[in-house]
Amino acid sequence: MIRLLLLDVDGTLTDGTINLLELDSGTYEAKSFHIHDGLGIVAWLKLGREIAIISGRESKSLRKRASELGITRIFMGVEDKSIIARNIISGLNLSKDEVACIGDDINDLGMFRESSLCFAPANANPYMHTKADVVLSCRGGYGAVREMIEFILRRNEEEYQEFLALYE
């Protein structure tokens, strides 16, 4: 059973676009997050599962969105995602078989190595499609994380029904 999801951000939870807003008070970064991903993440957490975000970039908007969703494991500015992934997995006393991840580019391969089930959004770098176990139909930032969550839960009908019952 998958108990932990490792999530990249830019290109998976977002469409990969970075908007830099120039204001008189300084430069601000803006990111867009899809509501379907958010509902799936909240439901995953309500089911007693774990999520960790591992991002190569620092982002105030990511920290805000993660807080809204109840994600407490957020690692930003990470160069080697495999080290962070191993530490999280070890800290939760999980095995690789209990871990899935999603990534869209080669800097996510470290997470792939530490996970038993790897996903890539439809618009991921083509090389990542060759490394992923599942290439999703959704693009990053357009419900790819939600699609991944439902894919995992549908492998066990009882788990999927529990997921649906959260909102019925």
Predicted confidence pLDDT, tens digits, the chain (168 residues): 999 999 999 999 999 998 888 888 888 888 899 999 999 999 999 999 999 999 999 999 999 999 999 999 999 999 999 999 999 999 999 999 999 999 999 999 999 999 999 999 999 999 999 999 999 999 999 999 999 999 999 999 999 999 999 988
The SS3 of residue 26 is strand
Q: Which pLDDT score is estimated for 19?
A: 86
Residue 44's pLDDT is what? 97
DSSP states of 83-138 as a string? HHHHHHHHHTT--GGGEEEE-SSGGGHHHHHT-SEEEE-TTS-HHHHHH-SEE-SS
Spatial distance between the Cα atoms of 117 and 115, rounded to a whole number of angstroms: 6
Q: Is-contact 106 126, C-beta < 8 A?
A: no
Q: Which of 58, 89, 99, 92 is CA-nearest to residue 75? A: 58
Residue 20 has a pLDDT of: 85
CA distance 146 to 41: 7
Dist. CA 25–CA 45, nearest whole Å: 37
Coil, strand or helix at 78: coil
For residues 141 and 20, give the distance between their C-alpha atoms in angstroms, rounded to a whole number. Answer: 17
Residues 117-136: b if buried by 16+ CB within 10 A, e if exposed: bbbbbebbbeebeebbebbb
pLDDT of residue 132: 98
The predicted pLDDT at position 37 comes to: 98
